[in-house]
Structure 1
Amino acid sequence: MGNQEIIQVEDRVPAKLLIPLSLQHMFAMFGASVLVPFLFGINPAIVLFMNGVGTLLFIAITKGKAPAYLGSSFAFLAPAGVVISEMGYPYALGGFVVVGLGGCILALIIYKFGSEWINVVLPPAAMGPVVALIGLELSGTAAQNAGLLDEKISMANVLVFAVTLGVAVFGTVLFRGFLSVIPILIAVVAGYVTAIATGMVDFSAVKAAPFFALPNFQTPKFSLEAVLIILPVLLVIASEHIGHQVVTSKIVGKDLLKDPGLHRSLLGDNLSTMISGLIGSVPTTTYGENIGVMAVTKVYSVRVIAGAAILSIICSLVGKLSALIQTIPNPVIGGISFLLYGMIGASGIRILVDSKVDYGKSRNLTLTSIVFVTGLSGVMVKMGSIQLKGMVLACVVGMVLSLIFHVLDRLKLTNDR
């Protein structure tokens, strides 16, 4: 630990270290994950509850071999917003259930036919920039949370953001011993204390919150129209899931697409989404913020992830604790996200380096160029209420191009064979 040794996926973590390491993961996901229920107009307690349950379910299905924290998915915001405004939230829940079921069926298909096709449809020259885009397209969200994109920038926001990011950045370089594996947690605490000092934190909601409170469970309603509006999101979350598993594989040094297998991780992810719809929560997905935490700290232990999931469930049941965590201001979340999203982007570049992509070949240069420009240009493709843009559209374009190149190879028409 003194030299910040890697704590691998299957390693046990001493009890005295488990709680702070788990808290670090919970704080990393908290801001973005709780934002989704606010946008849907529901109590975030049910989301914290399902995030914890879904993560534990994911760990069980992947046999404890794939470290991933499941948080609220942003992919459903646009179509679910349409359904909620026209029919109500219960019908959106019905759509979540069907999408989760569709993802489970996709997992069974992959189990039957394997995942080797990924290397054909997403070779390293395409997968690298797609993974990089996961972090890069979120960079604007980090700046927005920090208040840096406001028309009138608050110096208090800038101060809290700077303290949070500064402690996180220099902590990863300067901290030694145990502190070297919890720089994110220390940065959150430092930013929070600064926010309190600037008068940014209001504790009135904590005083008013009950000590214990059950989450607000709801049951879904089903409508064919609602399902058809939400169902195309399956393409988005499947692409996102594959990207997250690839970048996590690179970070932990294990091929998670083979062991425990893409079918298991995809099943765990979508089964959690289906259960979320059945109890009144929002869809879940493997979280980029927590992938970033693993990249920074080199702590990959599934036991730490499970500890964070249990803490999330506890927070959902203890009203005052849940309310206290919700007082963490956006500039703190923005400061942490600045570093974590950048780490994900760098992981995409790492894929290109580790795979030794040869840019002397025209196809590799073309694939990487088109994927990056598609993802960063703001180009959008609409299919009904679904919008394909950013990383997801870039992934689709990269897959189509890669398949065309593969067919041209088989026909012996390419000039770099």
Structure 2
Amino acid sequence: MQQREIQVHEIPPIGQSAFLSFQHLFAMFGSTVLVPNLLGIDPGIVLLMNGIGTLFYLLLCKGKIPAYLGSSFAFISPAAIVIAGNPEANLSSALGGFIVVGVIFCLIALLIKLVGTGWIDVVFPPAAMGAIVAVIGLELFPVAAGMAGWIPKDGAADWSMDPKIVAVSVLTLLITVLCNVLLRGFMKIIPVLIGIVSGYIISYLFGIVKFDTVAEAGIVAVPAITTPTFNWSAIAIIAPAALVVIVEHIGHLLVTGNIVGKDLSKDPGLHRSLLGNGISTVVSGFVGSTPNTTYGENMGVLALTKVYSVFVIGGAAVIAIVMSFFGKFSALIANIPEPVMGGVSLLLFGVIAASGLRVLVDGRVDYGKPTNLLLTTLVLVAGLSTVKLSLGPIVLSGMSLATVTGIVFSLLFKGIEKLGWSNEKE
């Protein structure tokens, strides 16, 4: 029997909603706290502002977009450059850059509000959009596989496969898959949560998880607030990365719309989505947190469980806010072993990639037309080739480069067709 979709506006029973919210939080927790750990920022303040920012976002989007905002990876490199040398002093300068990033988001949102979203159908035809969605999942496979212990992480030369690590990731993946296929009722819609908890237990039995950090964490931990300063040099380094995240944001919104079966770029509107992300980032920067973005892990959970309720997402945000003040609980979740998250992430990223193929099928893309075939090919090549295009401080790669490639060639092929130069009708 096919699983019933729980739509965006529906409210699952309170008991079920709590488990569903924890599932979303578990799926993104590791990634969202990795960013502050790399930059030397208090993870507690980031977790707090991710929760508050998500609630802002849901409110500004009129409760129509089920998206969770987590820490953006796009700012790790430029922020690290600013912070390097004197972390305590330069963190404030980085925060000033983060605030400017949020303002840029808001300005782009205003521009889109003025010009409308009709251009989206032109620059993102199904042949391009399906490939871009697929790239979002496919480009993350090596990251998940590295976490799962299947391949070297970051090209490490001295790597060797650890049977215990691989066993944990494979068992976690297998349990998550079987839960989704075999279980019925409520248990069927929390396979990720079951998989992570099971993987955690298996990791403990295999002796690859320690609880030292949990023991050392305080029961109550007040997030550390840092005030920003505005330094033109820091802003010049950090602000350009906003354009990369805006491109990614558009792609993520299209993916989410495809998953829930609604054109979210028109209702509630791309401008509202960008504005929500922008305001969240501005507020976060003023108290010492990182810029936010929508998360692939959470999109994967939506696609896998068919639970699209914004109340579940809001519940995850509230839990994150509460957890930011409870050090031991946060440490317990942050302590989830990498192979566990790697096994789960392989499935979630795979579901996103499959959603891209669904766009191509549902859009009835005719690959007998050379332009459709070439458009999909070029997007996949740009997104999966690992090539990086540097335009000054802006670096395009993976999904962002695939999106820009899709836009450029969609417009090029559309222009050729309008001018009557195409040979497709011959």
Indicate the TM-score class for this superposition, using the shorter chain for normalisation: over 0.9
**Which residue does 1:228 correspond to in 2?**
236
SS of corresponding position for 1:75: helix
Output the CA distance in 1 between the equivalents of 2:398 and 2:416.
Answer: 27
**1:244 counterpart letter in structure 2:** H
The 3-state SS of whatever aligns with 2:249 is helix
Q: Which amino acid aligns with 1:16?
A: G
Q: Percent identity?
A: 53
Do the aligned residues in 2 keep the contact of 1:79 with 1:386 (CA within 8 Å)? no
Structure 1 CA distance for aligned equivalents of residues 42 and 148 of structure 2: 23
Q: C-alpha distance in 2, partners of 1:238/1:372?
A: 20
Is 2:299 the counterpart of 1:297? no
Checking the alignment, whether the CA contact within 8 Å between 1:160 and 1:195 is kept in structure 2 is yes
Name which of structure 1's ranges 39-48 and 280-289 shifts more when overlaid on structure 2. 39-48
Which of 94, 104, 107 is the aligned partner of 2:106?
Answer: 104
Choose 392-401 or 98-107, whichever is displaced more.
392-401
Shift of 1:95: 1.1
- The residue that corresponds to 2:15 in the other structure is 16
Deviates more, 1:100-109 or 1:317-326: 317-326
Which 10-residue stretch deviates more, 218-227 or 287-296?
A: 218-227
TM, length-normalised to structure 2: 0.95
| Alignment counterpart, residue 162 of structure 2, candidates 149, 154, 162 | 154
User: Counterpart in 2 of 1:325?
Assistant: 333
1:123 counterpart = 2:125: yes
Indicate if the aligned counterparts of 1:292 and 1:343 stay in contact, CA closer than 8 A.
yes
Letter aligned with residue 62 of structure 1: C
Task: Find the counterpart in structure 2 of residue 390 from structure 1.
Answer: 398
Aligned partners of 2:30, 2:392: CA distance in 1, in Å? 30
Deviates more, 1:226-235 or 1:133-142: 226-235
Please state whether the residue corresponding to 1:359 is helix, strand or coil. Answer: coil
Any gaps of 5 or more consecutive residues in structure 1?
none
TM-score of the pair, normalised by structure 1: 0.97
Alignment root-mean-square deviation, CA = 1.4
- How many angstroms apart in 1 are the aligned matches of 2:310 and 2:410? 34
Residue equivalent to 2:281: 273
The one-letter amino acid paired with 2:67 is A
How many pairs were matched up?
Answer: 416
Within-5 A mapping of 1:58-137? 58-85=57-84, 88-137=90-139
Q: Match of 1:347, as an amino acid?
A: S
Q: What are the superposed Cα offsets for residues 306-326 of structure 1, whole Å, 9 maximum, x if unpaired?
A: 011111111111111111111
Is residue 403 from structure 1 mapped to residue 411 from structure 2 by the alignment? yes
Greater shift in the superposed pair: 225-234 or 105-114: 225-234
Structural mapping, 1:254-265, within 5 Å: 254-265=262-273
**Which whole-Å deviations, capped at 9, do the CAs of 1:285-329 have from their partners, x for residues lacking one?**
011100100111110000000011111111111111111111111
Deviations 1:20-47 (A, max 9, x none): 1111000000111111111112221111
Partner of 2:29: 30
In the TM superposition, residue 107 of structure 1 has moved relative to its aligned partner by 0.4
Which of residues 200, 211, 214 in structure 1 aligns to 2:219? 211
Matched-pair contact (CA < 8 Å) for 2:240–2:393: no
State the alpha-carbon separation in 1 of the partners of residues 112 and 300 from structure 2.
27
Please tell me whether the aligned partners of residues 229 and 386 of structure 1 are also in contact (alpha carbons under 8 angstroms).
no
Cα shift at 1:51: 1.2
| SS of aligned partner of 1:76 | helix
* Counterparts of residues 329-340 of structure 1 (less than 5 Å): 329-340=337-348
Quote the offset at 1:170 in angstroms: 1.4
CA contact (8 A) 1:78 1:385 kept: no
Q: Does 1:174 align with 2:182?
A: yes
Q: CA deviation at 1:348?
A: 1.0
Q: For the residues of structure 2 that align with 1:221 and 1:382, how far apart are their CA atoms?
A: 28
Q: Deviations over 1:344-370 (max 9, x none)?
A: 111111111111111111111111111
Q: Deviations over 1:109-167 (max 9, x none)?
A: 11111111011122111111111111111111101112222412222211211121011
Matching residue's letter, 2:141: S
Runs of 4+ in 1 over 4 A off after TM superposition: none
Q: Distance in 2 between matches of 1:289 and 1:226?
A: 30
Pair 1:246 & 2:251 matched:
no
Per-residue deviation, 1:416: 3.0
Tell me if 1:347 matches 2:355.
yes
Structure 2's unaligned 5+ residue stretches are 153-158
* Secondary structure of 1:381 counterpart: strand
Question: How far has the Cα of 1:86 moved from its partner?
Answer: 5.4
Contact kept in structure 1, 2:244 and 2:394, CA below 8 Å: no
Whole-angstrom CA distance in 2 between matches of 1:34 and 1:71: 9
SS state at 2:324 partner: helix
